[in-house]
Structure 1
Amino acid sequence: MSAMTRPRPRVAAAAAATAAAAALALTGCSSTGSSGSGADQVGFVTVKGTNVSKAEPGHRQDAPDISGETLEGGQVKLSDYRGKVVVLNVWGSWCGPCRGEADDLERVWTKYKDQGVQFLGINTRDSEKTNAVRFEQEKGVTYPSIFDPAGTQLLKFPKGSLNPQSIPTTLIVDRDGKLAARAVGGTVDDALESILQPVVAEPKQ
């Protein structure tokens, strides 16, 4: 009997390790550094038990005017969309959770783009643009993405708003160009709408 029970702790440990790895894979491609929790420098308050943080009107910090060349070869900057609610998604073609959330992001973009909403991707750590372009083609992504392989644009964000090591991350920028919400890790359409819709519903200033 004792010989049969000896392997069980090892099996349990292996199962626990597998579960932990799976949880990490679901929340993001990297866990280096801190993505911030609770109240921080940009007014974000984490919604308990979720990967979502929100900042109420009057407690929001300006989003940086990121800019650059898109994967299609055009030029874009965040301020081009002032007056719209902007969904910024940081992603990489090498990132499994990014691939998992791409369909949901496209669905929400299609649903809201006629309601004063603009989606803008920030593609990072893809050394070859062709990999990122292929990702968009395979996933049917139709909104633009800035090609930012070195993470230069990510470093423009104020401390506490965006951890460049936590990919994917999705940020909501309100009509006044201020950071209103953040979701760290892969995002499904229902979760994204839960932070997007309230910002869309805010009265125009």
Structure 2
Amino acid sequence: MRRALPALLVALFLTGCSSGPDAVDVNDGGEFRFVEATPTGEVIPPDERATAPEFSGTLLGGGEFSSTELSGDVAVLNFWGSWCPPCRVETPEFQEVYADVRDDGVQFLGLNVKETSEQFALAFVDRFGIEFPSLYDPRGEVALAFRDYPATAIPSTIVLDREGRVAAVYTGEVSQEDLRGVLDLVLGEV
């Protein structure tokens, strides 16, 4: 029985990570949750888009960042944590997409949330060879600025158009194919 209990707990946790409405709280405040992925995200028609909130913070490894640095480009904001199993799947795929589109007017920015140590986040970035920058947001302050979209579900991804408006929202793991399709769509807008 003692040997079976840890395996049972792991199985229950993993089942909860993909259970949609029955998402499992992953922190003491219960504000950040794993959620089931939206099948293809929610693409917002251009005439219905709201301007994204401005934000700033400290990058992993040091240095300051302001959302004004995204101006004029399409931007992919990915809210992640090293503690998040779906993030371990999608982050390397995001790196592949980033490598293909970074010279096409697309910026990627990771937003590392609810991390107990910056070293865990840096190890995650190093392990997966991530080249795009990430803000270190252990208290989730930037994520809460986007709470209407909802960035408090981890992982979440928000695509901004060239005008800094929210063009697409994903909760849960994003497929590389869907992300590429949305980027093609938003890049093609005049």
TM-score by length of 2: 0.81
Unaligned runs of 5+ in 2: 1-7
Q: In 2, Cα distance between the equivalents of 1:101 and 1:82?
A: 25
CA-CA distance at 1:62 after TM superposition = 0.7
SS in structure 2 at match of 1:153: helix
SS in structure 1 at match of 2:79: strand
Percent identity over the alignment? 33
SS in structure 2 at match of 1:102: helix
Task: Name segments (4+ residues, structure 1) moved above 2 Å.
Answer: 29-33
Aligned residues: 171
For 2:110, the equivalent position in structure 1 comes to 121
Amino acid at match of 2:115: D
Amino acid at match of 2:15: A
For 1:21, the equivalent position in structure 2 comes to 15
Residue 96 of structure 1 pairs with residue 80 of structure 2: no
Residue 187 of structure 1 pairs with residue 174 of structure 2: yes
Amino acid at match of 1:200: L
CA-CA distance at 1:26 after TM superposition = 9.5
Q: In 1, Cα distance between the equivalents of 2:90 and 2:126?
A: 15
For 1:196, the equivalent position in structure 2 comes to 183
CA-CA distance at 1:77 after TM superposition = 1.3
For 2:3, the equivalent position in structure 1 comes to none
For 1:136, the equivalent position in structure 2 comes to 125
Q: In 2, Cα distance between the equivalents of 1:51 and 1:89?
A: 15
Q: Structure 2 matches for 1:1-205, cutoff 5 A?
A: 21=15, 24=18, 30=24, 50=39, 52-157=41-146, 159=148, 161-164=149-152, 166-203=153-190
Q: In 2, Cα distance between the equivalents of 1:142 and 1:26?
A: 31
User: Do 2:50 and 2:166's aligned partners in 1 also have CA atoms closer than 8 Å?
Assistant: yes
* Residues 134 and 23 of structure 1, relative CA distance in 2, 3 Å threshold: closer
CA-CA distance at 1:188 after TM superposition = 2.3
Q: In 1, Cα distance between the equivalents of 2:81 and 2:122?
A: 11
* Residues 111 and 30 of structure 1, relative CA distance in 2, 3 Å threshold: farther
SS in structure 2 at match of 1:113: helix
Q: In 1, Cα distance between the equivalents of 2:17 and 2:58?
A: 34
